[in-house]
């Protein structure tokens, strides 16, 4: 009896770390990313609620950006922030969904249709939970009446560019190309976050929490859809068309 315990444990771990199967490595990695992102979000949210050190850093950094604003950089940041706003994110999400549909990548399409609008709704709900007031200046570069925490633009950028990066990483095989894809996606999220802080509509903690929120939500969506895809493959429930285009879909 005692000898069977280690063997069962080893079989369990082997199944969780296997790249094959319904509940293999993809689920393990997805849950790990979800837990890590959720923990980061919770830690930042707790610090904001209790007025920890990061809130004082927030105010100092907000004033630092505001005091160094220039007309040219302000125009550039306004372009970035408007391009990645509700309308821009919706258009980019719709175009990405259309691309998945034309490529018959139906599980990526499902992930996109869930992740992009779902992430926006989640962010609105979190804003009303925390109800944090935005930074305030006598001569603001941009004024908004909605709540500040967490940043909707940053969360949407994390979901969209993260989803796009996941798809491209699955499509390319050279490790340098994969690093370039992930780096580019991270740079776009950072640029959006910078635009929100520079324009004085979000604090540092707002954008950091939003990135964690977006990563957690994206991990949920991709892991769930990938598990559904693997389960249907394992049970032989996929059609000939789905098997033919399996290379386009989630692994």
Residue 55 lies in a domain: yes
pTM of the complete model: 0.86
The tokens describing 38, both together, are 């959720």
Looking at residue 7, what is its pLDDT?
Answer: 55
Between residues 26 and 87, which one has the greater pLDDT?
87
Nearest residue to 4 (alpha-carbon basis) of 12, 235, 244, 108? 12
Residue 194 lies in a domain: yes
Residue 144 lies in a domain: yes
Residue 96 lies in a domain: yes
For residues 23-36, one letter each, b for 16 or more C-beta atoms within 10 angstroms of the residue's C-beta and e for the rest, the string is: ebebbbbbeebbee
| pLDDT at position 19 over 70 | no
The tokens describing 101, both together, are 């549909």
Residue 98 lies in a domain: yes
Mean pLDDT computed over 155-178: 94
Residue range(s) defining the domain that contains residue 183:
26-248
Residue 17 lies in a domain: no
Looking at residue 26, what is its pLDDT?
Answer: 59
State the total domains in the chain.
1
DSSP state of 245: T
Looking at residue 249, what is its pLDDT?
Answer: 59
Residue 160 lies in a domain: yes
Residue 4 lies in a domain: no
């Amino acid at each position: 009896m005692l000898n069977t315990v280690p063997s069962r444990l080893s079989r369990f771990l082997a199944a969780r770390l296997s790249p094959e199967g319904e509940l293999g490595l993809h689920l393990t990695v997805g849950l790990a990313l979800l837990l890590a992102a959720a923990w980061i979000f919770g830690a930042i949210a707790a610090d904001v609620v209790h007025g920890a050190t990061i809130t004082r850093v927030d105010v100092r950094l907000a004033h630092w950006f505001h005091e160094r604003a220039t007309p040219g950089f302000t125009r550039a940041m306004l372009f970035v922030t408007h391009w990645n706003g509700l309308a821009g994110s919706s258009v980019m999400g719709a175009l990405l969904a259309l691309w998945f549909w034309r490529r018959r990548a139906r599980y990526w399409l499902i992930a996109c249709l869930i992740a992009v609008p779902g992430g926006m709704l989640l962010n609105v709900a979190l804003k009303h939970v925390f109800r944090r007031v935005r930074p305030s200046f006598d001569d603001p570069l941009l004024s908004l009446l909605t709540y500040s925490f967490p940043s909707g633009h940053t969360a949407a950028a994390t979901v969209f560019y993260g989803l796009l990066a996941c798809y491209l990483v699955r499509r390319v095989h050279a490790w340098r190309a994969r690093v370039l894809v992930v780096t580019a996606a991270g740079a776009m999220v950072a640029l959006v976050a910078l635009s929100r802080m520079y324009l004085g509509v979000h604090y540092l903690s707002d954008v950091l929490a939003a990135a964690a929120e977006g990563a957690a939500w994206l991990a949920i969506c991709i892991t769930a859809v990938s598990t559904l895809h693997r389960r249907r493959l394992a049970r032989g429930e996929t059609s000939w068309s789905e098997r033919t285009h399996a290379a386009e879909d989630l692994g």
